[in-house]
Amino acid sequence: MDANQSTLEPPETEPTEKPAPPKRGEPRKFRANPVGSIYSQVTRQGLARYIAKLPLIDRFEAELKDLSDRDLRKYSLGLRHRAKSGESLQKLLPEAFALVRIAGARTMNMRHYEVQLIGGMIMFDGSIAEMETGEGKTLTATLPTYLYALPGKGVHVATVNDYLAARDAELMMPVYQMLGMSVGVIESQMSSEDRRKAYACDITYGTSKEFGFDFLRDRLLIRQTREQGLGVLGPLLAGKSEKNEEPVQREHYFALVDEADSVLIDDARTPLVISSIPGEAEKVAVACHQWAAQAESEFEEDEHYEYDHDKKSVELTVTGRLLVRQIPKPKLLDTVGLIDLYDYVERAIKVKRDFHSGQHYVIRDGEIVIVDESTGRIAEGRKWSYGIHQAIEAKEGVEVTVATGQAARITVQDLFLRYRHLGGMTGTASSSKGEFKKIYRLNVIKCPTNRIPQRKIWSDRVFGNSEAKWNAIVEEIREIHNQGRPVLVGTRTIEKSEHLSRLLEEVGIEHEVLNAHQVEAEAEIVSRAGQPGKVTVATNMAGRGTDIKLGEGVHQAGGLHVICTELHDSARIDRQLVGRCGRQGDPGSTRQFMALDDDCLLIGLGPKRYKKLVALGANQTGELPSYAKLFKKAQRRIENKHFGDRKVLLYHEKQRKKMHREMGQDPYLDSPD
């Protein structure tokens, strides 16, 4: 099997001789030992100003490294006093970073690399540090987090789910506690009192969803207090028994966003909404959804409705509207107007066509739970708006939860733009740097790797149809597996991960499957994925945030091999999967598989061209390498469409807020109705 190394990657061999480490405590200029060839480009990458600070950090580290734990904590408290007295954090940076570096080495035996110090400075400056997988982003985050926590105004660290928030807080807590910092975690199902305590800590870990909902609940509470006529005296008059009726959050001072592309971009199209109490029309709405779900099968495309493939919208024709009138209805629907019934039917047709179990959602404990397409994880607490969620519930025959009016709403963009200071980190941000700059005013700066990457990118393989593609994937898994190398296979949906699992079972290859059904065992499955001969099948980036460490003998065999079974809607997601191999200078390889009947071509090129490609592929037995560029073109079109959707949402949100302010209303609490 020929392997073609990407021209974008550095040379795959490390220097045979490494310089001797510096003497303990010796101040020194920047060393180029593990990453010299990369740092030679510092001027072009805009990193020179950060590298210039490294000797100063080293000098403070040398001066402070012999302090006792107690004296180190006292020194940290002294920094806090200076920060609260008005001394600039920029001036305190070298001392603060040196303290965190010492604390990391003492409590966790993990001393920050120089590239991690650079990443910390990038985030402190209000930018996004693009760091490769395995470069230690969680440890790097302690640097700007500690520095911004010094003034005592509170720091929020936003992660993609509750598990990662709790894990990162627990891992890094010893570092913060040695320096006199308190750490809290916000999780789902917490009481108001526990949330208040967590927000009162110097550093608070949580998800953007929880931070946003707490902001909305606080705003609703403040309005309620004012309407009751208590005003600022409310908390004083209420007494201890009603302390839970006080806001839980403090001011929005600094937020550090982990997996910034996932949180700030992928989640940005879904507003956070708190529903109001349902009214008398509850039973009628449920009956309408259930009736439409049953009637949907009688409507045929082109005859009864027209489907816009670009906008993914359904519109009934005149014949379709006549059919709505003719279909028998329960007596409960007698009061519902025809226009509303048309909407219910169009919605039922749309969810039948565009929302699929195992890809967009799963049914768990009798509830419809959204699957985040960009991560493959369960999106706890989220629901689709405009009646889509209820239509899916009716389609699947589970209890229909009535779509109520909104009591409060905020978008991800609005939430994070409220912070006075904002920074982030991720492994894949360069392709979206224009959007980060335009919407969040964040620069994206690529951070060098600690060691020269050894990843090999093998040539793409394109097949005429999915059957030929899956057979080739199974054969490549078998070949790599027989070499004793571990294999990680990324699929786009839960259904396809289970399909590949069945194919591997048929040929007798042992493997583990990681998708939204195994969320509790996610970290454990991923941590085993680097063992010799291990085969792991995962949806998208399930397991993102947990390092895959190579087992004994795997390094010599060639490292982890990553197989991408299908292009995703965003090239960033593909890069995230590729980034699972070749961490910290480990060897590794990756290959992309594609077929002419992949969903990417349907979504990106439209149904007419897609049908022609499917027909062409049905008659092909060999590979079709010349079509690889077509997939990239389709992917770019999808990315542009999604970017357009986010821009439209941002524009409408700005207009909505402007309208509310002109009317003297609260843009977060008052419904546009």
- Residue 54 has a pLDDT of 95
**Is 243 within a domain?**
no
The C-alpha atoms of residue 215 and residue 277 are separated, in whole angstroms, by: 19
The C-alpha atoms of residue 316 and residue 343 are separated, in whole angstroms, by: 9
More confident: 516 or 347:
347
Does residue 265 share a domain with residue 192? yes
pLDDT tens digits, 220-257: 888 877 766 555 555 554 444 445 568 999 999 999 99
pLDDT of 35 > 70? The answer is: no
pLDDT of 492 > 90? The answer is: no
**Is 163 within a domain?**
yes
**Is 26 within a domain?**
no
pLDDT tens digits, 8-27: 333 333 333 444 444 444 44
pLDDT tens digits, 423-447: 999 988 887 888 899 889 999 999 9
pLDDT of 62 > 60? The answer is: yes
Does residue 538 share a domain with residue 469? yes
Does residue 381 share a domain with residue 416? no
Number of domains in the chain: 3
The annotation places the binding site for ATP at 116, 134-138, 547
Does residue 516 share a domain with residue 436? no
CATH number at residue 292: 3.90.1440.10
CATH number at residue 213: 3.40.50.300
Q: Exposed e or buried b for every residue in 2-21, given b needs 16+ CB within 10 A?
A: eeeeeeeeeeeeeeeeeeee
Does residue 488 share a domain with residue 608? yes
Does residue 518 share a domain with residue 415? no
**Is 259 within a domain?**
yes
Does residue 253 share a domain with residue 336? no
- Residue 374 has a pLDDT of 57
| Three-state SS sequence of 285-303 | HHHHHHHHHHHHHHCCECC
**Domain limits for position 377:** 280-404
The C-alpha atoms of residue 522 and residue 511 are separated, in whole angstroms, by: 14
Where is the domain boundary, 446, 472, 502?
Answer: 446
- Record the pTM: 0.75
pLDDT tens digits, 297-333: 999 999 999 998 877 889 999 999 999 999 988 888 8
Percentage of the residues of the chain whose pLDDT score is greater than 90: 51
More confident: 25 or 339:
339
Does residue 586 share a domain with residue 542? yes
Residues near 227 by beta carbon (within 8 Å), at least 6 away in sequence: none
The annotation places the binding site at 116, 134-138, 547
Does residue 417 share a domain with residue 553? no
**Is 570 within a domain?**
yes
Q: Which two tokens stand for residue 41?
A: 């480009």
The C-alpha atoms of residue 173 and residue 492 are separated, in whole angstroms, by: 35
Does residue 214 share a domain with residue 115? yes
Does residue 488 share a domain with residue 370? no
pLDDT of 45 > 70? The answer is: no
pLDDT of 649 > 70? The answer is: yes
**Is 2 within a domain?**
no
Does residue 150 share a domain with residue 70? yes
Instruction: Please report the DSSP string for 365-387 in residue order.
Output: TTEEEEB-TTT-SB-TT---TTT
Band of the pLDDT at 91, cuts 50, 70, 90?
very high
**Is 265 within a domain?**
yes
**Is 17 within a domain?**
no
